[in-house]
Amino acid sequence: MKVMGLSRLFLVAPEAPFPSSRATAMATSGDDILQKATVVDDMLAAISGCGLVLGTTARLRSLPLPVTDPRKAAERVLAEAPQHEVAIVFGRENSGLTNEETRLCHYLVNIPTSEEYHSLNLAQAVQVVTYELHMAALSELPGEVAPPDWVPEPPERLEFYFQRLQRTLLEIGFLNPDQPKRLMQRLRRLYQRARPDENELNILNGILSATLERAGEREDDGA
């Protein structure tokens, strides 16, 4: 991170005690970044307030989000960084990101590799992605990616909406209580793609409130 000019590191629930002399020794001249790192309990806490969240993955899943490569991702980051905070999320060395963590992202970034083997070491993946960010920052050419002309709501507000959406869909009998996940995944993907702003999310929340109200009335009618 440091050689490529990045400094803000969040660590999500590190397994080993933190900070540790081993980590400090491995960080060498990058130790200042490690010392300033923010430790949080879960990914949502790490990305809270971010207008753009990019998850890096070696795997391309069955229900993929839009996937981009590090070069295009870097252009987007540079285009949006003046507007809002941007998070680039890396997974665990052994198991990567969980599906749940992947679902919190707007885009996935995949480093193109050989067909035979896709998985880089974590540190190497960080290097490739941060190198592209640095190159994009050095480039004097105006970026071709236009920043969005709206302010996307941060992930924690969207999570709140998704919880309400699930409760509402269960309430009105639209969601199968035994298997709510599949449909919720698709709906999440739809909303993540749109990255609604405050106004839009208020409207969506209003629709849920009105739906619940009407559902309550109908139940009363039937009683």
Q: Does 67 bind ligand SAH (CB under 6 A)?
A: no
The answer to whether the CB of 155 falls within 8 A of the CB of 47 is yes
Among 34, 51, 57, 104, binds ligand SAH (CB under 6 A): 57
E strand or H helix at 144: none
Of the candidate spans 12-20, 56-64, 181-189, 194-202, the one that interacts with ligand SAH by CB under 6 A turns out to be: 56-64
Quote the least distance from Cβ 118 to ligand SAH, whole Å: 5
Could you give the C-alpha distances from 53 to 84, 102, 154, 187, in angstroms and in order? 11, 10, 9, 18
Shortest Å distance, C-beta 108 to ligand SAH: 8
56 close to 88: Cβ distance less than 8 angstroms:
yes
**Among residue numbers 113 through 132, which ones bind ligand SAH (CB under 6 A)?**
113, 118-120, 122, 125
Query: E strands along 49-164, which residues?
Result: 50-56, 67-68, 85-89, 107-109
Q: Is 93 in the site for ligand SAH (CB under 6 A)?
A: yes
Q: Bin 49: left if φ > 0, else alpha if -120 < ψ < 50, else beta.
A: left
Contact indicator for 136, 78 with CB cutoff of 8 Å: yes
Assess contact for 50 and 84: CB atoms under 8 A: yes
- Minimum distance, C-beta of residue 88 to ligand SAH, in the bound complex (Å): 9
Q: How far is it, in rounded angstroms, from Cα 41 to Cα 46?
A: 8
Q: Does 189 bind ligand SAH (CB under 6 A)?
A: no
Judged by CB under 6 A, does residue 1 bind ligand SAH?
no
Residue ranges in 13-42 that form contacts with ligand SAH under rule CB under 6 A: none
Question: Which of 39, 45, 58, 81 is close enough to bind ligand SAH by CB under 6 A?
Answer: 58
2 is a contact residue toward ligand SAH (CB under 6 A) = no
Query: Considering the rule CB under 6 A, would residue 161 count as an interface residue with ligand SAH?
Result: no
**Which residues in this chain contact ligand SAH in the complex, by CB under 6 A?**
56-59, 90-91, 93, 95-97, 109-111, 113, 118-120, 122, 125
